[in-house]
Amino acid sequence: MTRSEPNLRIPGPTTLPPSVREAGGRQMINHRGSEFKELLGRLQVGMKPYFGTTSDIAILSCAGTGGLEAAIVNTLSPGDRVLAVSIGAFGDRFAKIAEAYGANVERMSAEWGWAAAPDEVRERLSGGDVQAVLLTHNETSTGVMNPIPEIAAAIRATAPDALILVDTVSSLGAVPFDMDGWGIDVVATASQKAWMAAPGLAMVAASARGWAAMETAKMPRFYLDLRRHRNAMVDGETPWTPAIAVAFQVDEGLRLMNEEGQAGVFARHVACAAATQAGLQALGFDLYADASHRSRTVTAAHIPEGLDWKAFNADLKREGLVVAGGQARLAGKVFRVGHLGSVSVDEIVDAIETLEAVSMKRGRPVEPGAAGSAARRAAAEAALQPA
Ligand SMILES: Cc1ncc(COP(=O)(O)O)c(C=O)c1O
C-alpha cells in the first residue's frame, strides 16, 4: 500500500501486491499451449496444500458464487434432501442456489454472530437420509468462522454417506484447511480473497466421493460441469477460454505465498485479525461475532447508537480508508474490516489510526494513540501464541 492509494480494507477484492498487478498486465498466451499447461500445473501444486487435498482442483472462470453453484449442480439431483447450515448471508445464498435447482432444502440457521453448533447439526441429521450438508467456513457477513472439523465429524458420525459441501470463498489460503483429513467432499474458493488476485476465478476441489456423485447427479449443468473440467485438465487445459490474466495473478500470488511459507501466511492472518479486533475495541467499537469463533479474515463491529454512519464513513473515505458496510439484515448495523490476502499489521494499524482520527473529529471519546498501540500489542502477542 502506498498512501497515494486508499487502504482497501474490505473482505475482498483485496489489494494486489505490485508484482501481482504486473502479472495481470502480461501479454496473452495460447490457452491451448504448453505455457498455459505449465501455469495450470503450478496452480494445482501451489493450491493443494491450502485446500489440504491431493485431489485435482478445477479452475473455473467465474465469481465465487459460480464455484458454489458448481458444488451443488455437479453433485445433487432435484428433490435431494439437503441440510443447509447457515450462519449468515452467504450461508443463505448457498441454500438459495440449492433451492433454485430443485433440491429439497431444510435450513438450520444459527443466530447471526454465532457459529453453527456441531450437536445441533448431529440432531438435525439423525432423522433420515440427507444427501448433502452445506456449510460456510468463514461467514463474511458476520465475521464468524465455523469449526468445520467438529461439524464435519458430527456429520460423518450421524450421516456417514452425506456429502459435505463447504464454501471456503473467504478463508482458503488464509487459514488452515484439511479437506482430505476432515472428510470434506467439495470445497470452493475465489481468486479475489486470500489469493491476492483480481476477481475472476473460482477454484473447486472434490473428493473421490464427490467425483462419484457427479456421475449420477441430475441437476442441469454445462459451463460448470466439473467432469468437463477434469477431462480438460488431463491435457493441461480448461474446457472454455479461461480468465488468463487472473490465472497469471494467482500464479504470482502463490509464488509470494510460497516465499513467505504457509505457516508465515497463516501467522500473518492471525496477527492481523488480533490487531483489528484489539484496535476496534480500543476505539470503543463492540465486535459483532461471538468471541470464540471470530474470523481471521474479516471483523464486523457494531455501529454505535447515535453515530451517523454515512457521515462517518464519508470521512473515512476522504482519509483514504475503505471499509465494508453490513450486508442483508446487518445493513446500517455493522461495518466490516477485511484483513485477508496481501495485508500487513502496518496496514491494519494505519486503518485503526484513521478510524481514531475520524472518531475524534466526530466527537467520540478516544484516547489518542491508544488504539494503534493496542493493535500492535495484540499482533505481537498473537505472534507468540502456538499455531
Ligand atoms: C463466504 C462467501 N461466499 C461466497 C461469496 C461470493 O463470492 P463472489 O462475490 O465472488 O460471487 C463471498 C463473497 O464475498 C463470500 O465471502
The pTM of the full predicted model, rounded to 2 decimals, is: 0.97
Q: Given 258, 284, 318, which residue is the final one in a domain?
A: 258
Query: Could you give the CA distance from residue 227 to residue 219 in angstroms, rounded to a whole number?
Result: 13
> Is the Cβ atom of 297 under 6 angstroms away from ligand 1?
no
Local confidence band at 387 (pLDDT 50, 70, 90 cut-offs): low
Query: Could you give the CA distance from residue 387 to residue 385 in angstroms, rounded to a whole number?
Result: 6
Peptide bond between residue 304 and the one before it cis (omega within 30 degrees of 0):
no
Same domain, yes or no, for 235 and 272? no
Residue 246 has pLDDT above 60, yes or no: yes
310 within some domain: yes
342 within some domain: yes
1 within some domain: no
For the chain, how many structural domains are there in total? 2
Same domain, yes or no, for 204 and 318? no
CATH number at residue 274: 3.90.1150.10
> Is the Cβ atom of 167 under 6 angstroms away from ligand 1?
yes
Cell numbers standing for residue 150: 467438529
Same domain, yes or no, for 280 and 309? yes
CATH number at residue 104: 3.40.640.10
296-319: per-residue pLDDT in tens? 999 999 999 999 999 999 999 999
Q: Given 258, 278, 308, which residue is the final one in a domain?
A: 258
Query: Could you give the CA distance from residue 281 to residue 276 in angstroms, rounded to a whole number?
Result: 8
Residue 2 has pLDDT above 70, yes or no: no
Cell numbers standing for residue 317: 473515505
> Is the Cβ atom of 350 under 6 angstroms away from ligand 1?
no
Same domain, yes or no, for 61 and 206? yes
Same domain, yes or no, for 94 and 84? yes
> Is the Cβ atom of 65 under 6 angstroms away from ligand 1?
yes
Print the domain residue range for 288. Answer: 7-13+260-384
Straight-line distance from the first to the last Cα atom of the chain, in angstroms, rounded to the nearest whole number = 27
2 within some domain: no
Contact 127, 85 (CB under 8 A): no
Same domain, yes or no, for 316 and 168? no
Span from the CA of 93 to the centroid of ligand 1 (angstroms): 9
